[in-house]
Amino acid sequence: MSPLLFAAEASSDQFARFEVEPWQWAAFVALVATLLMADLLIVHRTAKEVSFKEAAIESGVWITIGLSFTLVVLAWQGGQAGGEYLAGYLIEKSLSIDNVFVWAVLLSYFGVPKQYQFRVLFWGVFGALVLRAIFIFAGVALIERFDFVLYVFGGLLLYSAYKISRHDEAQVHPDTNPVLRAVRKFVPSTSEYDGQKLFTRTQGRLLATPLFAVLLMVEATDVIFAVDSIPAILAVSREPFIVFSSNAFAILGLRALYFCLAGMAGKFRYLNIGLAVILAFVGVKMLLSEVYHLPTWASLAVIVVVLTVTIVVSLRADRREAVGS
């Protein structure tokens, strides 16, 4: 056995590993599906504009559910697994804030009526869960089979940290996006909305409404963000169930978080710096994982401290600016 392969196997032993029975996977997927359907068919059955108060309550509920699942993992598989789940959840939740601000730009660009925004984001989250599952299992398989992938992912995270630190992720230009160009070129579409429908019939023709283009743009941006977030979580856990469940619960609450934060991008002016620090930290952690494994509690501490400092400093700067004006 080569020294490099031995080191890789040794480092992987530092992470929680356990068998998840098919029925347990099925039970978790059923739980996620039940939560999604309850949100769609009970809480948001009719199209309406979501108020800040409603969004804040819903976001609090989703965050409580996501954090509470830590206790399930803790009781089921022990402290190491519970710590990895919590670290993964916090990483994904923090990186998702940038995604929320990009959604705000997209929905504003397309002029999506506020009462229809929830529905398109619902299907966006549903698609994101499917895509993330594919990325996660592929990422874990690549790391287990090819140890050099650790360096690829680590380098990718450092590059992403540099990019985020240099510019505001909310500055996107949908009109130059190749996905939108393809939709406009190849999919018969109408410029008129028809309620919450993705497709409508006009004079016997089936046409895509603007919501369909918005949905594809939301999915396209999630793929881009997944390139950062999936390797980041793989730096703190290699167990597919932990990585997917932490991703799933973080993503489930994104719609409510969007309605809370969509108009507050300016208040988090240092968010890109905080996210860059987190990505750089987990990138270095991944690059050094074959030499030294940082304890999960230490990773959690770094993530919590960076997020806290970023939020506090941003809000203080915004408050000083408001007082000065």
Q: How far apart are CA 157 and CA 176, in angstroms?
A: 25
CA angle at residue 249 from 306 to 145, to 5 degrees?
A: 85
Angle value at C-alpha 50, between 46 and 51, nearest 5 degrees: 140
Instruction: Flag whether 267 is in a domain.
Output: yes
- How many domains would you assign to the chain? 1
- Please, are residues 236 and 296 in contact by the beta-carbon 8 Å criterion? yes
What is the model's pLDDT at position 27? 95
Residue 1 counted as domain residue: no
2 lies in a domain?
no
pLDDT of residue 175: 63
Q: Tokens 């799933």 — which residue?
A: 248
Q: What is the pLDDT of residue 1?
A: 39
Q: Is residue 222 part of a domain?
A: yes
261 is written with which tokens? 């934060």
Quick one: angle between helices 79-109 and 240-252, nearest 10? 40
What is the phi/psi pair of residue 205, to 5°? -100, 140
* H helices, E strands: number in the chain: 12, 2
Q: Which one, of 114, 102, 124, lies nearest residue 55 by Cα?
A: 114
Tokens of 147: 């140890």
Q: Which two tokens stand for residue 167?
A: 């510019």
pTM for this model (two decimals): 0.78
- State the residue range of the domain holding 191: 7-324
Nearest to 90 by CA among 211, 227, 235: 235
Closest CA to 137 of 247, 224, 46: 247
CA-based angle 51:306:132, to the nearest 5? 65
pLDDT tens, position by position, for the chain (325 residues)?
333 333 344 444 578 888 999 999 999 999 999 998 888 787 777 777 778 788 888 889 999 999 999 999 999 999 899 999 999 999 888 887 777 777 877 887 778 888 888 888 888 888 888 888 888 888 888 877 877 777 888 787 788 788 777 765 445 556 666 767 777 778 888 878 888 888 888 877 888 888 888 888 888 777 777 777 788 888 888 899 999 999 999 988 888 888 877 656 567 777 778 878 888 888 888 788 777 777 777 878 888 888 888 888 887 887 777 666 6
201 located within any domain? yes
